[in-house]
Structure 1
Amino acid sequence: MKLTVTVPASTANLGPGFDAFGLALGLHDVVEVEVTDSGLKVEVIDAGGGDMADVPTDERHLVVRALRRACRHLGIEVPGLHLRCHNAIPHSRGLGSSAAAAVAGIAAGYALAGQPTDETALQLAAEFEGHADNAAASLFGGFVIAWGVGERFHAERLEPHAAIRPVVAVPAQRSSTHETRGLLPERVPLTDAAFSAGRAALAVHAVTSRPELLLTATEDRLHQDYRAPAYPDTMRLVRALREHGVAATVSGAGPTVLALTTTGILPPEVDVAPFEVTELPVDLTGVNVTAR
């Protein structure tokens, strides 16, 4: 059997929705999966993501690990695998590259078993990161709200407003989610928690129905300022864009900047150097698997 798996990038948090909000973006990794008689061969191809030299090409590869996990869950055995991974999503930039790889592997495993993805597919994919915001966005597409109950992950997909045109500003700098989480305090002031709760509730309304409220709805006091020492240029750009009326946030754990616009462009008076700026549509469909 031969499969082609197309999986979108994602952005998480959208300001106040820490570990809860995700939005799928129209930038895609493509994984070609072929079942062989034996062995494992993984080819990693730079399709625009860059920084592919440190990607493992053995059983440590995340797509392979996720695919194996899905196969174990579904009770199937795959004698051998040949993967060609066309990586367009930049790694360690806050655009959900790890979640996309996990979702690609899980979706491939389900397809090899002849099964549609189900609620457990999200659970399997999210277990690799410990939270479901990026994974749910890559799996379902659109705008997602993710949450956990005990050790179970859940997500609800909502339709984002058609006027929203995301723009990302991607730096050359890489960031580690583990390291930036280490900058977060164990406790925050009650006023900041209440502020973020209100903004997160407003963000759901803004993303789905009232994009003119996005600037206010994406205000955050929960995590971005605490992470600022890890990427000062990112926070400088976020603040400059917001001063010019753009709903800008840190994308996931950073250092990419997300701007939720309705024009697809950033104000020309804002200095975006040294970031690479790209408009990306919202991906509305999520992961897609086709037989070849």
Structure 2
Amino acid sequence: MQLGADHVVVRVPATSANLGPGFDALGLALALYDELEVRLVASDDVVVDVFGEGAGQVPTDAEHLVVRALRHTLELAGAPLTGLRMTCSNAIPHGRGLGSSAAAVVAGVVAARALLAEPRALDSRAVLAIATEFEGHPDNAAPAITGGATVAWQDGDGPRAVGLEVDPSIVATVLVPDSRLATSRARAVLPATVPHADAAFNAGRSALLVEALARRPELLLEATEDKLHQAYRAGVMTASSELLRALRAEGFAATISGAGPTVLVLTPEADVPALDATLAGLVDGVAGWRALRPGIDTHGARARRMLAAPDAATSGGNMQ
């Protein structure tokens, strides 16, 4: 396949996976974005400039995760590989359970798709499949691609995902600590097997969460209860686990975001003042914590060709 552009701009949202009981399945896109600009160059050089989160810490050459995902996608599409110059302006914290690696992979894949002469040749199922190849599971990649809330799974045909309805009154608050936690470490403490009763408990709560997100926000506290992963991870994120317990004891639907250590709180808009009053006594002014209220992203990853016709813009699209 031929290239159809040499300059694209991409924006991709942060995501929060699991949402309590939906381990490796449920995810939510947040209006906190990494933005990048890619220019192809007539050489083999790869130069990456990083500003914001990850600056001075991530590779600035062909080993950068966005570059790896972009070039892998072009290779799969049979497009020629060239050098590139990329500028990344990152707002998604790294190593905090907000989907920074999924955002990087999705950004690379949708950037590559926008560079192709026929972007629609790579539909959203293909984008999800490539992203999952890098990530290992699709729970963060799916909402990063489509926006909103999603449930993702894998079958014999590869990863799939569908969107879930989210009541517009639901407000997402993320409490981000300074400390990082590698996903590999968070996964290493999980047991190989769990009691049947705990699995059944989470299945019921996951089903309830779909209803709570869509139509019954007052059920979010019960719907976000979990017995599969958060308690097992308490020892590797003590402060986050203590904050989680304190918030839930006050009646707020708090969960560990992804592999942590960020804490996600989902509340009906009417309960936000009460949450803020509670946070004032728990994290406001406490060294090492940031409270953010980014909003829920509903668009997903967006890629735009520069100096091209308006209809050349591409987006994450809807997955079927």
- Which category describes the TM-score, using the shorter chain as reference length? over 0.9
Cα offset, 1:151, TM superposition: 7.2
Secondary structure at the aligned position of 1:103 is classed as helix
Partner Cα separation in structure 2 for residue 77 and residue 85 of structure 1: 23
CA contact (8 A) 2:142 2:152 kept: yes
Matching residue within 14, 19, 22 for 1:17: 22
Alignment partner of 2:119 out of 106, 115, 120: 115
Partner SS, residue 77 of structure 1: coil
Question: How many Å separate the matches in 2 of 1:214 and 1:104?
Answer: 31
Task: Tell me, in whole angstroms, the C-alpha distance in 2 between the residues paired with 1:64 and 1:193.
Answer: 38
Q: What residue identity is the alignment partner of 2:29?
A: A
Q: C-alpha distance in 2, partners of 1:122/1:180? A: 24
Quote the residue 1:54 is aligned against.
Answer: 57
Post-superposition Cα deviations, 1:36-90, rounded to whole Å, max 9, x if no partner, equal 11121111111xx3x4222001111000000011101111013221100111100
Is 1:283 aligned to residue 288 of structure 2? Answer: no
Q: Deviations over 1:169-192 (max 9, x none)?
A: 000000011011010001111111
Q: 1:255 offset after TM fit, Å?
A: 0.2
Partner of 1:40: 46
> 2:115 touches 2:305 (CA, 8 Å); kept in 1?
no
Within a 5 Å distance, the mapping from 1:206-221 to structure 2 comes to: 206-221=212-227
Q: Which letter does structure 1 place at the counterpart of 2:277?
A: P
**In 1, Cα distance between the equivalents of 2:64 and 2:263?**
27
User: Judging changes above 3 Å, is the alpha-carbon distance between structure 1 residues 172 and 134 closer, same or farther for their aligned structure 2 residues?
Assistant: same
Distance 1:209 1:239 in 2: 25
Give unpaired runs (5+ residues) of structure 1.
Answer: none
TM-score, length of structure 1 as denominator length? 0.96
Contact 1:35 1:78 in 2 (8 A): no
Q: CA deviation at 1:150?
A: 4.2
Segments ≥4 residues shifted beyond 4 Å: none
Counterpart position of 1:268: 277
User: Alignment identity in percent?
Assistant: 49
> Which residue of structure 1 aligns with residue 148 of structure 2?
142
Could you tell me how far apart the structure 2 residues matched to 1:33 and 1:208 are? 37
**Distance in 1 between the 2:47 and 2:293 partners?**
34
Q: Does 1:103 align with 2:106?
A: yes
* Residues 242-281 of structure 1: CA deviation (Å, up to 9, x unaligned): 1111100000000000000123452423412342101111
> Unmatched 5+ residue regions in structure 2?
1-5, 307-320
Output the CA distance in 2 between the equivalents of 1:36 and 1:59: 14
Distance 2:47 2:56 in 1: 16
Partner residue of 2:77? 74
Alignment of 1:186-265 (within 5 A): 186-263=192-269, 264=272
Letter in 1 for 2:49: E
**Could you say if the C-alpha distance between residues 235 and 151 of structure 1 is closer, same or farther in structure 2, counting changes exceeding 3 Å?**
farther
The answer as to 2:30 corresponding to 1:31 is no
Q: What do you get for the CA RMSD once the two structures are aligned? A: 1.2
